[in-house]
Amino acid sequence: MSDGIRQEIDLRGLTCPEPVIRTKKLFDKAYVVAVEALVDDNVCVNNLQRLARTLKVSCEVEDKNGYFAIKLERGGSKTSTASQSSHTHPLPISVKIGTTPTEVVTVLFITKDYLGEGDPDFSKTLCDLFLQTVFASGHRPRAILLVNSGVRLLAKDSSALKVLNDFRDAGVEVLACGLCVDFYKLKQDIATEQITNMFAICEYLFAADKIIQP
């Protein structure tokens, strides 16, 4: 990948979370494709590895005898298929993890796998369209909470799965109610880390400034 900037950053002498924040800020810029960070403690190494997993960039650690050189690169070996698109299209600038002080915390609360009342098939298509439109407009809610038949949107054969994965890759938490997942027998389809409980769902709803329930 030659059409992007590779950056080096010396973070030695800094303690966490400073190295994580500085590295993350570099990756917030779409034109940065690789970062080599120098850190001098194990905690920073571990935390940068976690950051790399979340950003879906590859991460190589080299022990330089006294300090560590960590190479993080977009589209590296550990990149999942879901974010392969970052090979050709740089991540949109709006992809940002964490919060800015002015940000309004919005949560999408989806309680069924269709939108509105009417023809069943049409209502399902409309639901997909809604999610795709939210994504395309650049809105990034803090979380998308799926309950009742809403969890079906995460099923393997769901037409909304792609857009929900896009949200997830953009840092939005896409979470399904565990009880509902069990009820609709979708345990095999949905990753454990996307399954949550009613307690956590309530936490998100009460912590939100704005709740959108289509």
Partner 1 sequence: MNNQDEICSTTPPHEMKLTAHVKAGGCAAKISPSQLAEIVRGLPEFDVPNLLTTIQSFEDAAVYKISEELALVQTIDFFPPVVDDPYLFGRIAAVNAISDIYAMGAKPIMALGVLCFPVCDYPLSVAQKILQGGADALKEAGAALVGGHSIQSAEPIYGLAVSGLIHPQQILTNGGAKSGDALVLTKRIGSGALLLAHKAELLVGASLQTLLCSLTLLNKSALEIAIPFKPHAATDVTGFGLIGHVHEMSKASGLKCVLHAQNVPFFPEALSYAEQGFVPAGAYANRNAYESIAYINDDVSLSYADLMFDPQTSGGLLLALEPPKAADLVKALIETGLVGAIIGEMIDGNAGHVEVQAR
Binding interface with partner 1 (CB under 8 A): 15-18, 20-21, 24, 41-43, 46-51, 53-54, 97-99, 101, 103, 105, 142, 171, 173, 178, 192-193, 195-197, 199-200, 203-204, 206-209
What amino acid occupies position 154?
L
As measured in angstroms, the least distance from the Cβ of 98 to partner 1 is: 5
Nearer to partner 1, 47 or 132 (CB): 47
The set of residues, in sequence order, having a beta carbon less than 8 Å from that of 151 and lying 6+ positions away, is 176, 177, 180, 181, 184, 186, 190
Annotate 66-119 with DSSP letters as a single string.
SSEEEEEEET-TT--GGGGGGGTSPPPTT---S--TT---EEEEE-SSS-SSS-
Provide the minimum distance between the beta carbon of 99 and partner 1 in the complex, in angstroms, as a whole number: 6
Least distance to partner 1 from the beta carbon of 175, Å? 10
User: What does the longest C-alpha to C-alpha distance in the chain come to?
Assistant: 67
Shortest Cβ 212–partner 1 spacing (Å): 16
Shortest Å, Cβ 43 to partner 1: 4
Q: Determine how β-strand 106-110 pairs with β-strand 210-212.
A: parallel
- Supply 64's token pair: 């330089």
Taking the least distance from each CB to partner 1, the nearer of 180 and 195 is: 195
Would you list the DSSP string of 4-25?
SEEEEEE-TT--TTHHHHHHHH
- Which residue, 101 or 120, has its beta carbon nearer to partner 1? 101
In this complex, which beta carbon is closest to partner 1, that of residue 2 or of residue 199? 199
CB 158 within 8 A of CB 186: no
Question: Given the complex with partner 1, which of 53 and 87 has the nearer CB atom?
Answer: 53
